[in-house]
Structure formats: structure tokens, C-alpha cells
Amino acid sequence: MFESLSERLGGVFDRLTKAGALTEADVVTALREVRTALLEADVSLPVARDFIKRVQDKATGAAVTKSVTPGQMVVKIVHDELIRVLAGDGEPDALKIDNPPATILMVGLQGSGKTTTTAKLAKRLKDRGGKRVLLASLDTNRPAAMEQLAILGAQIGVDSLPIVKGETAVQIAKRAKTQASLGGYDVLFLDTAGRLHIDEVLMDEVQAVRDIAAPRETLLVVDGLTGQDAVNVAAEFDGKVGITGVVLTRMDGDGRGGAALSMRAVTGKPIRFVGLGEKMDALETFEAERVAGRILG
């Protein structure tokens, strides 16, 4: 399918002089291959451009020791820079759920895997942390989505807020908060409505819900296969609602995960978890090393 970056660079450097230090011309040639690799991995163009510029500054003049080829040297610099961006300050991956009941607001576009991820996270907190979790769907436009969350909740043994027809998202959020407090729950998940595209109505509703729910975490769920578009979605949601992290779904697919780099670079917000399938256990904490390897191919 894809040629790995090491293979690409190996080819490039075979044609270059093997000098003792990387020359600017060597680096420029190599970085053309890196740029292609990043774009193939669905990293957005402006992010790829910035990234290349930083690597270029670091790589030019870097000493090439006997034990590595110039190609390996560039791959290492690219890899280290990828890790630096993806891992950020090494924020803790555990969700902030102190001071119960802690509310976690789930946001994202329809079809991103938001409802599935909500249930997966609930199961994780219940199984690993022994937490009492309450689920509530705010997707008033899609009764099927509300039922879907309740069905998943029943499957994993987690309570969901009874559905009352005719309520607005804000009314449901208020009722859920009250229920979470009275019921002695540790964590409340609010699964907000998704839309096919970002629109004003959706953002206004999410903002209104956020204002009354005062979430400890606001997680944006993004389909890892969406590639270039992910960066706009992340920037928009972060700007309007303020996210605390991202969950990248469908990383079990063919996607190369470039969206992770783009979203991280543009919003500065950490990728917290990755979805690796439809099953309720198919969720892992984000590991920069793994995703970096995937982006490089």
C-alpha cells in the first residue's frame, strides 16, 4: 500500500553524497519525501508545512555518525518531532472525575462514533475505576440515537437517564445533573446531538448545555478516517465550546492517523483515547509512539 518513510528516504539518500553532516540540499530533498508521507497520512497541508519547516531547521547541519545513514538520521529527527507534537506536555490520560458527580460532555459530528465512545468510556470507568456512571443522551432530533445509548448502557450494565419525550437538550441536561447528584453517581456522561456538518444551531445548543452542565471534561470525538477535515472540526469545536481532549475513532481501519497530528498542532489539546473497533472494550489510551509510527508508515 504505502511505501514507508524509511524506504523512501533510503532511495533518496542513495543518490546523494554520504557526507559527514546533513547539508541543506540533502535535507530539502529528503523533506520532500517526508511531506508526501505526511500528506498521504492525511495530515492537513498547513500543519505538514509547519512541521517540515521545524524539521528542516533541526536537521540542517545535524551530524551523521557512522552508525546511521543520512536517511535514518532524517527519519529519527522527523520521528522525534512527531512525538514531541503528539505527546505535548505528557498530560495525564486519566479523565478528571474527582468531586463527584463529575460531568463529561461528549461532542462531535454525527457518525463520528460519539455514542459508542460514550458507552466505551462509561464501561472503562465502571470496570477499571469501580465508578457509578449515569448516561444521558441529548440528541432530541434523533430518538433512535437516544435509544441507542440506553441499549448500550444496558449491555454494559450502566444506568441511563429515562427518556422523556418533548424535552430540550438543556432540560435533559438539567434533569441528568439532578439525577446524578440525588442518585449518588460518580460520573455523568452527556452525549450531545451530532450534526452532519458544523452549524450555528448545533454550536448554540452545545454552548447552552455546557453552560448549565459545567463539565469537568469536554471530549471531542472525531473519526480518524476523516483526515483533512478533522482539523476544521477540532478548531471549530474548541473555539466555540472549549474542548479538554480528543478521542480518535476508527483507528482499527486503514487510516494513517494524520488527523491526530493536525488536531494536536492546531488546538494544542491532547488526544486522550483511540477507538479500535465497534466492541465495548475496543478503546485504548492514546500512545504518541504508536501513532507516530503509523503516520510514518
112 interacts with ligand GDP by CB under 6 A: yes
Q: Is 55 exposed, middle or buried (0-12, 13-18, 19+ CB in 10 A)?
A: buried
- Considering the complex, state which of residue 86 and residue 146 has its C-beta at the smaller distance from ligand GDP: 146
* CA atoms of 174 and 190, how far apart (whole Å): 11
Q: Does the annotation list 36 as a binding residue?
A: no
Q: Is 59 exposed, middle or buried (0-12, 13-18, 19+ CB in 10 A)?
A: buried
In the complex, minimum distance from the CB of residue 67 to ligand GDP, in angstroms, rounded to a whole number: 40
Q: Does the annotation list 251 as a binding residue?
A: yes
- Considering the complex, state which of residue 78 and residue 190 has its C-beta at the smaller distance from ligand GDP: 190
- Which 197-256 residues touch ligand GDP, going by CB under 6 A? 249-250, 252
- Considering the complex, state which of residue 23 and residue 232 has its C-beta at the smaller distance from ligand GDP: 232
In the numeric block, the cell 452527556 is attached to 190
Tell me, residue by residue from 273 to 292, as one string, x for binding to ligand GDP by CB under 6 A and - for no binding: --xxxx---x----------
Provide the pairing of β-strand 245-249 with 217-223: parallel
- Considering the complex, state which of residue 88 and residue 111 has its C-beta at the smaller distance from ligand GDP: 111
Query: What number of other Cβ atoms are within 10 A of residue 200's Cβ?
Result: 8
The grid coordinates of residue 102 equal: 463529575
Interface with ligand GDP (CB under 6 A), residue from 6, 110, 141, 232: 110
Q: Does the annotation list 161 as a binding residue?
A: no
* CA atoms of 33 and 28, how far apart (whole Å): 9
Q: Which residues are annotated as a binding site for GTP?
A: 108-115, 191-195, 249-252
| Binding interface with ligand GDP (CB under 6 A) | 108, 110-116, 194, 249-250, 252, 275-278, 282
